[in-house]
Amino acid sequence: MISSGLFVLPAIAFAKVGPAVILSYMLAGFLVIPTMFAKAELLTAMPKAGGDYFYISRSMGVANGFLGGVSNWFSLSCKSAFALVGIGAFASLIYPQITEMQMDIISALFCVIFTVVNLKGVELAAKYQIWLVSFLIAVCVIYIMWGLPEVRIDHYRGFFDGGFLPILSTAGLVFVSFGGLTKVASIAEEVKDPTRNIPLGMILAWGVVMTLYALAIFVTVGVLAPATLSATLMPLSAGAEVFEGKAGAAVLAFGAILAFVSTANAGIMTASRAPLAMSRDKLLPPFFSKLNGNGVPYWPILFTSAAMLAMIFAFDIEKLVKVASAIMIALFILANAALIFMRESHLANYRPVFRAPLYPYLQIVGIILYAALLASMGAFALKATGLFFGASLLWYLIYPYRTEVKKSALIHVVERVIGRQIKTNTLSRELKNVLRERDSIMEDRFDIIVKESLIMDIEDEMSAHDFFKNISARFAGLLARDAGELYGQFIEREKISATVIKKGLAIPHIIIDGEKIFTMILVRAKKGVIFPDNSEPVKTLFAIVASGDERNFYLRALMAIAEIVQEKDFEEKWCAAASKADLEDVILLASRKREEVLI
């Protein structure tokens, strides 16, 4: 997050827009907000490796997901390569006669070092990252405190002389500076407690980065002469030299090098996870999904590092940054569209813990602004982005082992429009598995009973007597018993004590002769079952037939049902379920206390 975007790019951006560079940075930072909230929601619903690829493919189809995945990988790899080149450039402070090839060799050496660190695992890489980021924040705070008293306001004359368009296009150039705020998407599967830590981390990081960027750039523009700032690639170091001499410049240069190291380290870690997820879905060769002894996808890491090495030796820095920003903006458009499709699919198993505020207005405005930002960046960025997407789409179309294995939320949106189901329901099942993993749901006996239960979805209003006749016939078929006898027992049980437990919920139950019998029928009555002495129709019913030796489990089952129906949104989920499978999932994925064995 705090890297070349602060220690190098301000000088390049200042040369294009003058003192209004601070406005370009702030505009770019605020434009990240729609995507930050969109990703936070999507990742709390689907905390899986590959982040951008995973949720875009599940919402908009595999082709769009593949484009999103390779876009994420490429933009992060470009940014990380740029950071490594920055290390080589700052080495000139130690050895002024250094050649360009020597700079590239130093950059490549650091790339190899951080490849080894990442092969040891995310936990080890994260330990270094925490210390690096903490030190960088401290360096930036000291720089701001030293520099604020030295700021010359006259350096901000002619703030708007160039008009708004250069400010907008420069915001596009520096947009990649804020890409790190959402990089956690790529390693969501490896984050502890992702439903809490991902949204909280993104929001806190955004606040810290915005504050540091705005104040540091304000100081830099205010202390350096315009000609000096435009000519340097070490703006903060040059600024520190103005008010603290060579010692200040050395401290900031050291901080800059650590920033580049931080970005390169995190870039390898996060960018490599997209190929892992795409390989799992058979869009890349299977060896990309192999893990080493530390649980790390070593082939994607090696591939990412090799690509970064190629960029170090081959590409112009400014163009590299511009392409990285352009592709990242396109990726953000896909991320916001993905959220809209997931929400509008009304999938029962789409259950984010965090929900993006101001939906869908924030996402729609974000998409429009991103398109305007992309258009303002010029022909080179647009052509390079089009070429990249074209090459990626070509690979998707010609890769021989590709299989269409997922049904996206887009299909569910179409289903809602045309009023019928299309093909399979693979996405709903996959989201179900994600939820079980995310919420650490361990299957117990009650879950097994639910999965074996008959599910009835009654369209019309029905009296209690007709309902008991209906379920008695169903139980008779399941248990090889007499339907009339079962019906009589249900009626007699209802006379002894009403089985309507609360508003809208009933648990009709009887005990029969036999051993080890526990059978349940789940019922949704859309217009309700009318019970005597109850004015409100009952729409949720758990009908149970059990033998006497199952009384202990029967009590435990009642406790499980009580926990399930007390969820604040249970009734909404139950009524909105689109199919019998969705009704089953409302029960199976509910938050309740589970035991390994229920007897």
* Single-letter residue type at 566: Q
> Does a structural domain hold residue 265?
yes
Task: Kindly state whether residues 393 and 445 are assigned to the same domain.
Answer: no
Coil, helix or strand for 376? coil
Q: Which of 48, 502, 8, 564 is nearest to 233 (CA)?
A: 8
In a domain, 544, yes or no: yes
CATH of the domain at 62: 1.20.1740.10
390 in helix, strand or coil? Answer: helix
* Domain encompassing residue 247: 4-398
Q: Which helix (H) or strand (E) holds 463?
A: strand 462-463
Residues in the chain: 599
The whole-number pLDDT of residue 27 equals 95
Of the candidates 381, 379, 366, the residue with the CA atom closest to the CA atom of residue 326: 381
Provide the CB-side half-sphere exposure for 107 (13 A, CA). Answer: 31
Hey, which residues does 77 pair with through a beta bridge? none
Same domain, 276 and 348: yes
Burial profile 408-428: b = 16 or more Cβ within 10 angstroms, e = fewer: bbbbbbebeeeeeeeeebebb
Structural domain count, the chain: 2
Last residue of a domain, one of 398, 433, 466: 398
Q: Are 236 and 63 in contact (CB under 8 A)?
A: no
Residue 593 resides in a domain: no
CATH of the domain at 529: 3.40.930.10
Query: Is the same domain home to 281 and 383?
Result: yes
**HSE of 382, CA atoms in CB hemisphere, 13 A:** 11
> Residue 505: helix, strand or coil by DSSP?
strand
Task: Answer yes or no: do 73 and 194 share one domain.
Answer: yes
- Let me know if 364 is exposed, middle or buried by CB neighbors in 10 A (0-12, 13-18, 19+): middle
The DSSP code sequence of 201-222 is HHHHHHHHHHHHHHHHHHHHHH
Instruction: Report the C-alpha gap between 269 and 272 in whole angstroms.
Output: 6
291, with CB counted inside 10 A (0-12, 13-18, 19+), is exposed
Mark whether 366 and 445 lie in a shared domain: no
Residues in CB range of 405: below 8 A, 6 or more apart: 62, 281, 282, 426
What pLDDT does residue 4 have? 78
The tens place of each residue's pLDDT in the chain, 599 residues long, gives 577 788 888 999 999 999 999 999 999 999 999 999 999 898 888 877 666 777 888 888 888 888 888 888 888 888 888 888 878 777 776 777 777 788 888 888 988 988 888 787 655 555 566 777 788 889 999 999 999 999 999 999 888 888 889 999 999 999 988 877 776 655 556 667 777 778 888 899 899 999 999 999 999 999 999 999 988 878 999 999 998 898 888 888 888 887 787 778 777 777 777 787 788 778 888 888 888 877 778 888 898 899 889 888 877 777 878 888 899 999 999 999 999 988 988 777 788 889 999 999 999 999 999 999 999 988 888 998 899 899 998 988 888 666 554 556 655 555 554 444 544 556 666 676 766 666 667 788 999 999 999 999 999 999 999 999 999 999 999 999 999 999 999 999 988 888 898 889 999 999 999 999 999 999 999 999 999 878 789 999 999 999 999 989 988 898 899 889 988 888 888 988 888 888 888 898 888 887 654 44
Is residue 598 included in any domain, yes or no?
no
Looking at the domain assignment, is residue 337 inside a domain?
Answer: yes
SS3 letters across 41-67: HHHHHCCCCCCHHHHHHHHHCHHHHHH
- Cα–Cα distance measured from residue 307 to residue 136, given in angstroms and rounded to the nearest whole number: 27
In a domain, 173, yes or no: yes
Widest distance between CA atoms in the chain: 99
Report the 10 Å Cβ neighbour count for 389: 15
Whether residue 54 contacts residue 65, with contact meaning beta carbons closer than 8 Å, is answered with yes
Please report the pLDDT score of residue 597 as a whole number: 44
Domain identity same for 371 and 474: no
Whether 236 contacts 7, CB under 8 Å = yes
Cα-Cα end-to-end distance for the chain = 53
Residue 445, in any domain of the structure:
yes
Supply the DSSP symbol for 420.
S
Domain boundary, last residue among 398, 423, 454: 398
Alpha-carbon distance values, 76 to 18, 71, 158, 269, 275 (Å)? 27, 8, 35, 10, 13
CA distances from 112 to 108, 115, 134 (A): 6, 5, 24
Q: Are 68 and 335 in contact (CB under 8 A)?
A: yes
For strand 505-506 and strand 454-458, is the pairing parallel, antiparallel, or unpaired?
unpaired
Listed residue (352, 277, 583) closest to 450, CA to CA: 583
59 and 172, same domain (yes or no): yes
Which of 346, 381, 398 is at the close of a domain? Answer: 398
Instruction: Find where tokens 């999103």 sit.
Output: 68
Per-residue model confidence (pLDDT) at position 477: 93
| Residue 53 backbone dihedrals phi, psi, to 5 degrees | -60, -45
- Taking residue 183's Cβ as centre, other Cβ atoms within 10 Å add up to 24
SS3 label, residue 264:
helix
Task: For residue 360, say if its preceding peptide bond is cis, omega within 30 degrees of 0.
Answer: yes
Integer-rounded Cα Rg, in Å, for the chain is 30
Are residues 463 and 394 located together in one domain of the fold?
no
Q: How far apart are alpha carbons 35 and 329 in whole angstroms?
A: 10
Neighbours of 60 (CB within 10 A): 23
Distance CA 230, CA 84 (A): 22
Nearest of 536, 501, 542 to residue 524 by alpha carbon: 542
CA quadruple 13, 333, 36, 272: dihedral sign: negative
Q: Is residue 166 part of a domain?
A: yes
What type of residue sits at position 385?
T
Q: Are residues 289 and 355 in the same domain?
A: yes
| Token couple for 124 | 């080890």
Identify whether residues 333 and 452 lie together within a single domain: no
The model carries a pTM of: 0.76
pLDDT at 200: 85
Residue 77, helix vs strand vs coil = helix
Cβ contact 528:461 at 8 Å: yes
The residue among 267, 300, 301, 309 whose CA lies nearest residue 107 is: 309
Nearest residue to 473 (alpha-carbon basis) of 482, 483, 463, 465:
483
Residues 394 and 445 in one domain: no
Q: Is 137 exposed, middle or buried (0-12, 13-18, 19+ CB in 10 A)?
A: middle
523: enclosing H helix or E strand: strand 518-530
Same domain, 182 and 255: yes
